[in-house]
Amino acid sequence: MIDCNNERAGSSAVAHSIGLPTLAMVWRLLLALAMVGLLIHPRAAQAWGAQGHQLVAEYAESRLSAQARAEIDRLLALEPGATLVSISTWADEKRSASTAAWHYLNFPRGADCSYDAAIHCVDGNCVVGSVERQSAILASNAPDAERLKAMKYLVHMVADVHQPLHAGFADDRGGNKFQIQAYGRGTNLHALWDSALIDNWPGGMPALRMAMAAADAERDGDAVVAAQESCRIVSSVGFYPGGRKVGADYEQHWSATLVQRLSTAGARLAVVLESAVAAWQTPAPKN
Ligand SMILES: [Zn+2]
């Protein structure tokens, strides 16, 4: 789902003059700095943006029992300073050709959003398969380092499958190819849902956090349920904005859905983490 758009500076204007930097040299320096910036800050349009992932992780953390929290903190302590929030974007930072498909799945447009692993997740190579695999590893007695890695994937992928356009349609690459105008600039529908709606939330993150806390989050439901729900949202009338323009009316109409998806992702993530921790518990010694 990544569109790379590499622009290269012209190389013909090689400066031979000594002394003050030429415009071409300054341009190359700026370009190099920009590229370093891109490496440090991976494109937000790969998934929920960083804010979305952090909000989901934060919400899940707030719903954990003290016992689960202690066990999860013990695992996180393998990497000093790591928190559920800090690991929530790791899977996007580590994204490669072999793991790119783990972040989404595609349904056929116009069908009924019924998930069939053999069709929509061949060889488990989609977000649903990834959540199922990583959940099993996390709940197992695998070495701590492996379970931590599984948890890093899970905290991310459980959120991804709730981003409606991560279970959208292949023909426009989950909205990546659906160009729109929003907030005074050109963007695409996928990026709008990943980050722009969140970043432009009226009242900022504190207001969005409060809305999530007040939302009627759904705890029940696995990754299959979440994917089917996402597909149904994307299939709803008006999800694809008419006129390719997103204004206040679109924002108002879909804000409750956005809040519900973020909070439900957090609530379900908490359930997944709790059940993994429960699986770790050895039977209590008999008196
Ligand atoms: Zn992702």
Question: What residues contact 11, with CB distance under 8 A and at least 6 apart?
Answer: none
Q: How far apart are CA 263 and CA 274, in angstroms?
A: 16
Ligand 1 (single-atom ion) residues, CB below 5 Å? 47, 92, 103, 160
Classify strands 185-188 and 245-246 as parallel, antiparallel or unpaired: unpaired
Q: How far does the centroid of ligand 1 lie from the alpha carbon of residue 46, in Å? A: 6
Counted residue by residue, the chain has a size of: 287
How confident is the model at residue 22, as a pLDDT? 53
Give the largest CA-CA distance in the chain.
86
How confident is the model at residue 283, as a pLDDT? 59
How confident is the model at residue 28, as a pLDDT? 59
Confirm if 91 and 152 have CB atoms less than 8 A apart: yes
Q: How far does the centroid of ligand 1 lie from the alpha carbon of residue 257, in Å? A: 19
**pLDDT > 70 fraction of the chain, expressed in percent and rounded:** 82
DSSP string, 68-92: HHHHHHHHHTTSTT--HHHHTTHHH
How confident is the model at residue 48, as a pLDDT? 83
**pLDDT > 90 fraction of the chain, expressed in percent and rounded:** 78
Contacts 24+ apart (CB under 8 A), 141-146: 141/280, 144/75, 144/78, 145/78
Quick one: average pLDDT of 195-206? Answer: 96
Q: How far does the centroid of ligand 1 lie from the alpha carbon of residue 127, in Å? A: 9
pTM of the model: 0.82
Q: How far does the centroid of ligand 1 lie from the alpha carbon of residue 222, in Å? A: 17
Q: How far does the centroid of ligand 1 lie from the alpha carbon of residue 135, in Å? A: 16
Q: How far does the centroid of ligand 1 lie from the alpha carbon of residue 3, in Å? A: 15
192: closest CA among 168, 243, 115, 200? 200
Q: How far does the centroid of ligand 1 lie from the alpha carbon of residue 10, in Å? A: 34
pLDDT band per the 50, 70, 90 thresholds, residue 74:
very high
Q: How far does the centroid of ligand 1 lie from the alpha carbon of residue 179, in Å? A: 20
Q: How far apart are the first and last CA of the chain?
A: 56
How confident is the model at residue 287, as a pLDDT? 58
Q: How far does the centroid of ligand 1 lie from the alpha carbon of residue 21, in Å? A: 41
Q: How far does the centroid of ligand 1 lie from the alpha carbon of residue 13, in Å? A: 40
Q: How far does the centroid of ligand 1 lie from the alpha carbon of residue 265, in Å? A: 13
How confident is the model at residue 281, as a pLDDT? 83
Q: Lowest-confidence range among 16-20, 100-104, 122-126, 253-257? A: 16-20
Q: How far does the centroid of ligand 1 lie from the alpha carbon of residue 154, in Å? A: 10
Q: How far does the centroid of ligand 1 lie from the alpha carbon of residue 159, in Å? A: 8
pLDDT band per the 50, 70, 90 thresholds, residue 47:
low
Confirm if 1 and 45 have CB atoms less than 8 A apart: yes
Q: What are the Cα distances from residue 126, in Å, to 116, 141, 167, 184?
A: 12, 24, 10, 34
Please report where in the chains the tokens 């299939």 appear, as a residue. 235
